[in-house]
Amino acid sequence: MSATLALIKRAPNLSVEDRIKGIADLGKTLEPVGVTDTVTIAVSASLYGVTWAAGDIATNGLVYNVGVWSKCKLWVIWFRDLGGYLYSSIVLLRAHALNRIFIQRKSFTGWAYYMPIVILAAALLIFCLTVQLISDELTVSYLPKLEICHYVEGFKWGSLALLWLVWFVSLFYYIKIRHIQTAFNEFRESLIVFLLAFATLFQTSLLHSIVPTYPLNRAIRTVSTFLDVACGVTSIWVILAYPVFKCIFYREKYEHEWLAKLARDGLQREYQIESSRTAMSSDYVKMGNIRYPTNMSTNNLTYASANQARQDSISGLGYLLLFS
């Protein structure tokens, strides 16, 4: 740690006026927490979800980092970092599942399927626990005079590199499954999600590189938080917006259309679509515990054309979340 940071770390808690003057002597400009920060917190928390937003609120300097907010490792490791890792890992694991089912034509049960999930979860947990146990001087520490969390260079770039790695691996998987001709083809939606994710990562990396003390600047910390919120929320609704809209306003019709799409894929065995004699005679098709009327016999179901599959693909994630 530099001599300046060492002095700041040992400095006692000061009033806002004294902090502004003291920081000015160090060539820094401090903009205290104000109404803009409060509005940013309210909007981001309501849109983003309390858990993940809490990490941004603490580390971006939107609150006075005193009391529980001064526990930098708590907010940096277990909220901001782990929250980002978990969301990114969900995208990766979904890509892994689709690749295993539709490209490798293997089951999504058993050790062969769950082992990568266990390994990824263990790796993230080990990383967070290791960083928690390592000295603050080597990871992230609290600077009382600045009232901000100071990232050590190695830890900062290591954390960001891990996020970049997860997203690049996810992109690799989605490129592999981009041509699957089923109702689960979400390549267009996923491409938007990846653009948002890489834009967020690039913005965060650039900010930490060029303006490492950005929490001291009200405009920069506000814009940074809103960009995180906007990209995070949008990436979720890119997948869910259409299914949610259809489920709210056209639930029965949408359910019928969705099951028909699954049937047109010609993957009755993979989707566990069954047809009993009674169902066949009454022109019903059964998927799991759901029976729905259709004009198509399961014996006559065929794959949709590539163009039709791309045009009509509906998010499987949205269906699984809303109809489970």
pLDDT in tens, 144-185: 888 888 889 999 999 999 999 999 998 998 888 888 776 677
Average pLDDT of 122-132? 90
Phi, psi of 186 (to 5 degrees): -120, 30
CB 60 within 8 A of CB 52: no
> pLDDT tier at 199 (50, 70, 90 boundaries)?
very high
pLDDT for 268 = 56
- Most confidently modeled of 3-12, 102-111, 175-184, 243-252? 243-252
pLDDT for 55 = 81
Residue with the bigger pLDDT between 138 and 294: it is 138
pLDDT for 167 = 92
Give the model confidence (pLDDT) of 53-99 as tens digits.
778 888 888 888 888 888 999 998 888 888 888 888 888 888 888 88
pLDDT for 317 = 40
- Most confidently modeled of 3-17, 201-215, 254-268? 201-215
Q: What is the mean pLDDT of the chain?
A: 72
Provide the residue type at 230 as one letter: A
The three-state secondary structure class of 274 is strand
**Looking up tokens 């526990």, which residue turns up?**
71
Average pLDDT of 304-320? 36
pLDDT for 233 = 81
Phi, psi of 79 (to 5 degrees): -110, -65
The three-state secondary structure class of 14 is coil
pLDDT for 28 = 62
C-alpha span between 170 and 191 (Å, rounded): 11
Question: Does position 306 have pLDDT exceeding 50, yes or no?
Answer: no
From residue 223, give the alpha-carbon distance in Å to each of 20, 55, 140: 22, 16, 23
Domains of the chain, with CATH numbers? 3-248 (1.20.1070), 250-323 (no CATH)
Count each helix (H run) and each strand (E run) in the chain, helices first: 15, 5
Instruction: Extract the tokens encoding 22.
Output: 């003291």
pLDDT for 4 = 47
Residue with the bigger pLDDT between 142 and 6: it is 142
Residue with the bigger pLDDT between 36 and 206: it is 206
Partners of residue 292 on adjacent β-strands:
285
Question: Does position 206 have pLDDT exceeding 90, yes or no?
Answer: yes
